[in-house]
Every structure is written in C-alpha cells, then in structure tokens.
A and B are shown apart, each in its own frame.
Chain A
Amino acid sequence: QVQLVESGGGVVQPGRSLRLSCAASGFTFSTYSMHWVRQAPGKGPEWVAVISYNGRNKYYADSVKGRFTISRDNSKNTLSLQTNSLRAEDTAVYYCSRGGVDSPGTHDVFDIWGQGTMVTVSS
C-alpha cells in the first residue's frame, strides 16, 4: 500500500544540523511532488518545503529559507531534508507528505502523510 516512512529525528543542540529522510513505497514516487510539513507541540501544521516531481522546483517557508534544503533521489524513492543552524523554534514533528502528480510544486493537496519524526532542539 501507499506508505511514507520518516526517519532521522532526534535531540540536537542549537546551531547544529540534522538530516531527515522519507522512504516512499506503493506509488510511482518520481511522478509526485513531495513536501515536508512540521508541527510544533500543541500547535497546528506548518508547511516547510516542497520539491517538484523532477526536482527542478523548490519552495521554502520563510522561517527555514537559507537554513533547510529539500532534495530527492527518484532512483531510491527517497525524500530528504537537510536542516542546518537549528533553533529551539524548529522543535517539532516533521512529516513528509505527497503532493500532486507531475506537479511543479504549486497548488498541491497533501493526500498522503507519513507518521512523522520528532526533532528536538535543546541544549
């Protein structure tokens, strides 16, 4: 069945880095845009970044632009998020989510979500 499984979360000190991964299965990964969405404890979801199906287009939330980098490996059905210069306010559950078919990364709906991976930024 269609599945997204995140990994790579953990506890990290402010200013350090962490690389999150999302393994996709059950669908043709290379034809879908993919997103990262995060949710801080007790808060609503916050969109983080999107990458188009072919990797050519990337968009970022203002809160992470310049610090986070989204990428994908269509040969391995894997989505990644490199998070640098982490701050306390980056503490959240990070979800990967599927976007649209042949999508450039815009006007997507998040139809499939993973179970999330927790990132805690604390000294």
Chain B
Amino acid sequence: SYVLTQPPSVSVAPGKTASITCGGNSIGSKSVHWYLQKPGQAPVLVIEFDRDRPSGIPERFSGSNSGNTATLTISRVEAGDEADYFCQVWDSSSDHYVFGTGTKVTVL
C-alpha cells in the first residue's frame, strides 16, 4: 500500500517560515492535498491539488510537489497556525485514499 511520511513535529518562531514535508514514492505524479486540524475539531482543507488555496485560506499558506516530496509552507507564522497538519493523496493503484502520518506544528 502507498505510504506518506511526514516529520512528527516542526517548531517555528512567530513571524518565521515553517516547511512541512510529505514523502511518497513518485508523489510528484499525484495530486496532494493538505489539511490542518486543531484539537477537538474536524480537519480543514488548506491546500488542494498541490498548490491551490481554497477560499478563505490566507496567502501565507502555499504548497509544492515534485519528485518524491510534497511541501506545505507557512509564511509569517502566527500562534493560530499551531495545529496538526496532514497530507493526502488518491492512490490509483489500490483505489484508496491515503493520509500522511501527520506533523504537529508548534509555535514557539
């Protein structure tokens, strides 16, 4: 089965830039979507189709995808960005949807 690997945690100071990676075999050939989840809440879509921001998501959130790594970048990090972040793809070889292992972003 297809596996998406993320770093367990990322720490960043307010105002700085956080980068969260999502590794998978030839992930650059797939569309990657990113979600944030705060404690006790449902996930929220922040990036779709590698780099597109849904309505209402700040421009500080951006995405890229190439080779074996997709990346979510959060610029000018704010305290409110502290959350768990998950990547997700559709795996056509298994007809399954796959989520990444998740990254906890801590704002120092």
Contacts and interface: CB of A to CB of B under 8 A. Distances in A.
Interface of A: 35, 44-47, 50, 59, 61-62, 95, 106-111, 113-116
B38 to A, nearest CB: 12
Nearest to B1: A62
A32 to B, nearest CB: 14
A61 B94 CA distance: 9
Among A61, A95, A108, A109, the most chain B Cβ lie within 10 Å of the Cβ of A109
A47 B37 CA distance: 15
Contacts of B86: 44-45
Contacts of A111: 45, 48, 54
A70 to B, nearest CB: 13
Interface string B65-99: 00000000000000000001010101010011111
Contacts, number: 54
Interface of B: 1, 31, 33, 35, 37, 42-45, 48-49, 54, 84, 86, 88, 90, 92, 95-102
Given A109-B45, A116-B42, 13 more contacts: A35-B97, A45-B37, A45-B86, A45-B99, A47-B99, A50-B97, A59-B95, A106-B90, A106-B92, A108-B90, A109-B33, A110-B43, A114-B42
A37 to B, nearest CB: 8
Contacts of A106: 90, 92, 95
Nearest to B94: A62
14 contacts: A45-B43, A45-B88, A47-B96, A59-B95, A106-B90, A106-B92, A107-B31, A107-B90, A107-B92, A109-B33, A109-B48, A110-B45, A110-B88, A113-B44
Nearest to A112: B45
Contacts of A109: 31, 33, 45, 48-49, 88
A81 B101 CA distance: 25
A116 to B, nearest CB: 6
Nearest to A107: B90
B92 to A, nearest CB: 7
B100 A44 contact: yes
